[in-house]
Structure 1
Amino acid sequence: MTTSGPVLVIGEALIDIVEKEGGSVEHVGGSPANVALGLGRLGVEVSLLTQFGADLRGEAIEAHLRDSAVRVLVERAAATSTARARIRRDGSAEYDFDIAWGGFGDVALPPASVVHTGSIAAFLEPGASDVVRLIRAAGAAEVTFDPNIRPDLVGARGEVEARFHEIAQLSTVVKLSDEDAEWLFPGKAIGDVLDAVLADGARLAAVTMGAEGAVLATPSGRVRVDPVRVEAVDTIGAGDTFMASLIASVCESGSADLGRDRVAQIGRDAVRAAAVTVSRAGANLPWARELAA
């Protein structure tokens, strides 16, 4: 799949330290960095504006992203952030974070038709306010957003909810996990959550539900997408893979209206891509050639 762009992703890049029985292994991670990686592997022209240290882990991040055709724009941090992931028996992950997310100075943004952000970068100050400023400054036709809420990191609930809606109101595409939906809209049904996201102004909203598939919605209707059954190794990067596929589909569709058939295809492509990532260790997102095979 070769798609148009360019896309600018703004957000954290870090090292996932994945613990399983018998030891640990380090992988490049961070939700926005994973999304950028996935886009590069799908053939989308993509840049990542991020922060990491001038250290060995930072060098590993930069090399890994560039190997997947991502242009890396770095605001240097004192050290590279980490997330320690403990893999449960069902393949899901529990995280402990050592994160720093600072402000951005004057940044020369590359041209972009799509800007994406989410996760820690969208909520953790002092950098989060600058992320919103940069989204506004970019003036992209499409803004995509995945809150990927980390409750222990993002601050008081009221502040997080306000920031979510602030970015959602700038966004044309918003994706949440079912865990995000429950945290942001406690007690609400998935349909009501999608309605709330669309009311903020998105033209496409999605909620992923792990092994139960996903639901996608536009102002004119919604589509349920069945899961692709695979043997789960771990779920790290699955939601980011879904998001990268959504963005690639938006690039491919351009400004065209998203009818039911097109939305269903977008959802199937995203679920299938995420299933590939779940079937292997770490945030190892699929290449276009793998999805075409």
Structure 2
Amino acid sequence: MSILVIGEALIDIVSSAGSPDRYAPGGAPANVALGLGRLGADAELLTDVGDDFHGGFLLAHLRESHVRVHARPTGSTSTARALLSTDGSAEYEFSLRWDPDASLVDSGEWTAIHVGSIAAFLSPGAAAVDSLLQRGGDSSALLSFDPNIRPSIIGDRQLALARFESLATRVDVVKLSDVDADWLYPGQSADAQIDRILRLGAKLVALTCGSQDSILSTASSRVRVPAGAVKVRDTIGAGDTFMASLVHDLQGAGSHFENVDEVVLADLGENASRRAAITVSRAGADLPWAGEEGA
């Protein structure tokens, strides 16, 4: 059985002072699918790309990482311009489309279904996300969600919060960054933010804090996992690597989290942090392959 990822694939246009623009494949859900394929999982991606050069490049890139892509290429491919600061962090400007054809996905069983980022919020494709999550909820698949909040794209905060919480009630795992959490729940501590998401129904919440600790929590156990020391080239794809690692290590768990104690949470967090450290040590969303040191 395979892991189904649902979400956008796009071209990152990376801009930094004093350097020419760099073009690279991206999109948070596409990165998660790519990361899963590179770790040896049987990964599928339902997405929406154009029939232009960028679309063909994306499809080839994903297939080289052993991802089976479901898409009907037409029109122009989405882009995200990443503006890099001197510390390697990125801000984004988007030109987007999101209207996938859910009929391309067969009715097979999956060990996990992951949804994320802009695709979870943007119509008309958000309806496909809901439909496939419903199908996953009727099975034993692990369901996961990473909002990867982009305020300039998803619009009104209250509407976005309602959508986030609606999805969080339907999944087993929610992973988000501290920036995401502070936008959704401003003025609250990390522990309070995590507690609120757990009360919505998620079985496991992972909160990443950049170069600081990450926090992984169930209703009964909570651990803080230090980020590994690494020379950062840029942070593009770091959170997606963390997410792919969690899905890879939890696939098959379904809704059975009774045995996810502090030891298991620490192992999950350490694996994810170690894999993310590989990604940030090199340019762009170049996620690790199975067999790489640390992966």
> Same fold, TM exceeding 0.5?
yes
**What percentage of aligned pairs have identical amino acids?**
49
Query: Quick one: distance in 2 between partners of 1:10 and 1:23?
Result: 32
Output the amino acid matched with 1:112: W
Q: Is the 8 A contact 1:77 1:102 kept in 2?
A: no
Query: Quick one: distance in 2 between partners of 1:292 and 1:286?
Result: 9
Query: Quick one: distance in 1 between partners of 2:35 and 2:293?
Result: 12
Q: Is the 8 A contact 1:124 1:155 kept in 2?
A: no
Aligned to 1:264: 266
Indicate which of 109, 112, 122 corresponds to 2:110. 112
Find out whether 1:228 has 2:225 as its counterpart: no
Indicate which of 16, 19, 23 corresponds to 2:12. 16
Find out whether 1:280 has 2:270 as its counterpart: no
Shift of 1:108: 3.4
Secondary structure (helix, strand or coil) at the match of 1:75 reads coil
Query: Quick one: distance in 2 between partners of 1:261 and 1:6?
Result: 27
Q: Is the 8 A contact 1:213 1:271 kept in 2?
A: no
Q: Is the 8 A contact 1:213 1:228 kept in 2?
A: no
Secondary structure (helix, strand or coil) at the match of 2:153 reads coil
Distance change in 2, residues 1:107/1:29 (3 Å)? same
Indicate which of 12, 33, 38 corresponds to 1:36. 33
Aligned to 1:97: 94
Secondary structure (helix, strand or coil) at the match of 1:283 reads coil
Query: Quick one: distance in 1 between partners of 2:130 and 2:239?
Result: 22
Shift of 1:203: 1.4
Secondary structure (helix, strand or coil) at the match of 1:71 reads strand
Shift of 1:159: 1.3
Aligned to 2:245: 245
Aligned to 1:183: 183
| Bigger mean CA offset, 68-77 vs 211-220 | 68-77
Give the TM-score of the pair, scaled to structure 2: 0.94
Aligned to 2:3: 7
Q: Is the 8 A contact 1:168 1:200 kept in 2?
A: yes
Q: Is the 8 A contact 1:103 1:128 kept in 2?
A: no
Secondary structure (helix, strand or coil) at the match of 1:206 reads strand
Find out whether 1:45 has 2:42 as its counterpart: yes
Shift of 1:102: 2.1
1:73-117 CA distances to partner (integer Å, 9 max, x unpaired)?
A: 003342100001111000001111011112535343343121000
Shift of 1:253: 5.5
Output the amino acid matched with 1:158: Q
Output the amino acid matched with 1:8: L
Shift of 1:22: 1.9
Secondary structure (helix, strand or coil) at the match of 1:51 reads coil
Indicate which of 42, 53, 64 corresponds to 1:56. 53
Shift of 1:126: 1.4
Output the amino acid matched with 1:9: V
Aligned to 1:88: 85
Distance change in 2, residues 1:35/1:196 (3 Å)? same
Aligned to 2:170: 170
Find out whether 1:66 has 2:76 as its counterpart: no
Q: Is the 8 A contact 2:111 2:252 kept in 1?
A: no
Output the amino acid matched with 2:44: S
Query: Quick one: distance in 2 between partners of 1:279 and 1:121?
Result: 27
Shift of 1:292: 5.0
Aligned to 1:79: 76
Shift of 1:213: 2.3
Output the amino acid matched with 2:147: P
Query: Quick one: distance in 2 between partners of 1:142 and 1:214?
Result: 21
Unaligned runs of 5+ in 2: none
Shift of 1:200: 1.4
Secondary structure (helix, strand or coil) at the match of 2:292 reads helix
Secondary structure (helix, strand or coil) at the match of 1:170 reads coil
Output the amino acid matched with 1:289: G
Q: Is the 8 A contact 1:207 1:215 kept in 2?
A: yes
Output the amino acid matched with 1:267: G
1:91-149 CA distances to partner (integer Å, 9 max, x unpaired)?
A: 00111101111253534334312100010000011111221122112334211000000
RMSD between aligned residues: 1.5
Query: Quick one: distance in 1 between partners of 2:247 and 2:103?
Result: 27
Aligned to 1:159: 159
Output the amino acid matched with 1:116: H
| Bigger mean CA offset, 137-146 vs 13-22 | 137-146
Aligned to 2:213: 213
